[in-house]
Structure 1
């Protein structure tokens, strides 16, 4: 016979309604009582009836995430961090790699409480595509003008990278990243690079601004090969993403380039993977933990009261020094 809240109520010595509130993490229940209820539920092997709970709370405890790519390490790492934080709040993340509109339709059939999208997925939606009927949050540029978004100041991040390299004596600094017409994220990085050079009084050398034509490690590898073929190589490189940086690093190591002695590297994407490479990479951007915290908090707020959300939450980038510069 399956365990019910009545069994938990009997073991803990509180009412049925208190058990139900505690399992739903209600602020009306004392933390000590919540702890006892949760421990009793675990020891008894209690499994909540999601269908029944949704009828009472009008929520399913599900959050749909439209995932643009399983191939990019930075996205995978961030999604994992967000999923872990949602789990601590009693929410389950559902991932979909389908086209955005198809993913949204699936999530709505499953009656998710909110939907999270990345800018890359949002851009694949057309102006006539129907918006979700549940709260939606984007990471990056908003899906629509009135749709809430958590974003990072990418222009400021690349400016910070240039400033740190100039501070270390570099003047021949390359930037590697895709220039995608539809992506404000990537254009902001290019603009930040150019503005930072201008601010430092360094003339822009067109050959040092490389369009990687993608964000995979292979794109970074081939861009690095182009840099190494130049008669006058750069003394420092800024990468537009972790995956690009891993490809750049692979190309440099294959040619016997000493990092940072021959060429220094600073990369966008402030994720833990950076310090796990053969040469730990210095990075700029919003630390993954802070970004995941902000996204999770905003999702929870959206579920409680979507009308109270700010249209845009812009996070401030940071620089971390490691061995690559």
Structure 2
């Protein structure tokens, strides 16, 4: 016969009901008692029947994670890192993770509908925010718990979201190039349908305008958040009669593509062109030269998103909130003084 809750209770010197409360992570149980019960569970080799508990609680003990496109998103180190933050909290709280596998927007939308109507998850984390995203409307209409990593385009006060102050961060990193004496500054962003691109582009514009520098449409390039996207952007910028001397890039993986393609053009960073970027992924330290970048603390975005979602799952009346994760400018060697 297998180990039961009663066996654990006897080993830990508590009531069986206390063991059940520890398994469900009841906040009313002291940390000392939780540690004693968990030690007894480990010593006895007891594993809770999550499926049975989920049925009793009318809960799946799972959260859905929605990527912008499953075939390309995981090529960018941002997403594995934010998933690491999500999985850490999910593990602590005994939740499993159900990752969307859609490639097109329609597939993603249908996948979320299956999550909701199939009772596959208790709530959803959206890892991106698009302009006029019908996923937001659908989840709100169905009163289904969800949080967004990024800033919602509409109903910002009604949707819990975890974000950086991307406008200020982009303005700050653009000013970094301006302070180095750069006057011709380009911008390489992702899809204009992504709110993060719009916010960072707005910050870039604000910095140029305050410095009385021209905002040139031909200096705006939009590609996918991939190495290939950065490479394509270089082709476009370097074909200009007067290319920029500095570039703000909204993603480190794109910046890696920029550096490799500039090298093919016979141009060196930062001697011929200075670049600054966002995210501070591991690649940013491995490029030649290492990137000056904005550390947006990706792991913490995942942590905070999961904590907020589990709060909403446990209490659907939990009010919407906005959590801003601070950013840090990491200075390395990809930009030089042009004065």
Query: Which TM-score bucket, shorter chain as reference?
Result: 0.7 to 0.9
Partner of 2:244: 234
Structure 2 CA distance for partners of 1:206 and 1:83, relative to 1, 3 Å: same
Q: Distance in 2 between matches of 1:144 and 1:204?
A: 27
Please tell me whether residue 319 in structure 1 is matched to residue 323 in structure 2. Answer: no
Q: Provide the residue aligned with 1:10 in structure 2.
A: 10
Distance 1:25 1:174 in 2: 50
Q: Which residue of 1 aligns with 2:86?
A: 82
Contact 2:276 2:293 (C-alpha < 8 Å) held by counterparts: yes
Structure 2: which 5+ residue stretches go unaligned?
Answer: none
- 1-structure distance, mates of 2:266, 2:35: 57
Q: Distance in 2 between matches of 1:128 and 1:166?
A: 40
The superposition leaves residues 154-192 of structure 1 with CA deviations (integer Å, 9 ceiling, x where unpaired) of: 222211111111122222211111452x43332222222
Give the count of matched residue pairs.
323
- Going from structure 1 to structure 2, the CA distance change for 1:209 and 1:111 (only over 3 Å counts) comes to closer
Q: Aligned Cα RMSD in Å?
A: 2.7
- Alignment partners' CA distance in 1, 2:42 and 2:68: 35
Unaligned runs of 5+ in 1: none
Listed as ranges, the matches of 1:145-224 within 5 Å are 145=155, 146-178=158-190, 180=192, 182-210=193-221, 212-224=222-234
| Corresponding residue to 1:284 among 252, 277, 294 | 294
Cα distance in structure 1, aligned partners of 2:319 and 2:295: 23
1:43 — aligned with what? 43
Q: Distance in 1 between matches of 2:154 and 2:323?
A: 15
TM-score by length of 1: 0.87
Cα deviation, 1:42-96, whole Å, max 9, x if unaligned, reads: 2333222123212444433211112222423122321222222321232222111
1:102 to 91, 98, 110: 110
| Residue 125 of structure 1: aligned partner | 134
**Which residue, 277, 291, 313 being the options, matches 1:303?**
313
The residue number in structure 1 matching 2:122 is: 113
Q: 1:139 to 1:163 in 2, by over 3 A?
A: same
Contact 2:253–2:283 (Cα < 8 Å) also in 1: no
Deviation at 1:314, TM superposition (A): 4.2
Shift of 1:136: 1.3
Distance 1:22-1:152 versus aligned 2 partners, 3 A rule: same
Contact 1:66 1:121 in 2 (8 A): no
